Amino acid sequence: MNKIIWGVSAYFHDAGLSVIKNGKIVFAAHAERYSGVKHDKHLNDKIIKEALKYGEPDVVAWYEKPWKKNIRKLLTGEWRYSPLDSHPKKYMKKFGIKAPVKLFDHHFTHATAGYFTSPFEH
């Protein structure tokens, strides 16, 4: 079986999508490359279409836990949107992606990206 994981970052700046198939990165791009909008914070139909060339995702790994981000933005006075409008599962469904969405801690995603793309085993 070909396990396909999509790593997604969106909503704030430089949205991007990566496709991992059987443990190997087969696609990774920023949304701005497809939309022409510098620092585009949203995915778009073009990047989704390109990613789908590698197959439908079995799971979407979302780069952060929205509730954590929302609380931080509320406490710092940067609140600009409704958390109901920003749920990752709802966001992915608008592109026709029905795979389960798993939420991860933002800083953990940075650490794992560094680890898994490094030559180190530990």
Would residue 14 be called left, alpha or beta, if left means φ above 0 and alpha means ψ between -120 and 50 degrees?
A: left
User: CA of 22: how far to CAs of 5, 30, 36, in Å?
Assistant: 8, 22, 31
Based on DSSP, count helices (H) and strands (E) in the chain, helices before strands. Answer: 5, 5
Query: Rounded distance, CA 118 to CA 64, Å?
Result: 22
Q: Is 36 exposed, middle or buried (0-12, 13-18, 19+ CB in 10 A)?
A: exposed
The pLDDT score that the predictor gives to residue 116 is 77
pLDDT in tens, 57-110: 999 999 887 777 767 767 787 666 555 456 899 999 999 999 999 998 877 777
User: CA of 63: how far to CAs of 7, 60, 74, 78, 83, in Å?
Assistant: 7, 9, 19, 20, 16
The pLDDT score that the predictor gives to residue 84 is 46
In the three-class reduction of DSSP (H, G, I as helix; E, B as strand; rest coil), residue 95 is classed as coil
Query: Rounded distance, CA 14 to CA 104, Å?
Result: 18
In this predicted structure, the answer to whether residue 33 has a pLDDT above a threshold of 90 is: yes
The pLDDT score that the predictor gives to residue 79 is 64
Taking the model in full, what pTM does it have?
0.82
Query: Taking all residues of the chain, what is their mean pLDDT, rounded to a whole number?
Result: 87
In the three-class reduction of DSSP (H, G, I as helix; E, B as strand; rest coil), residue 83 is classed as coil
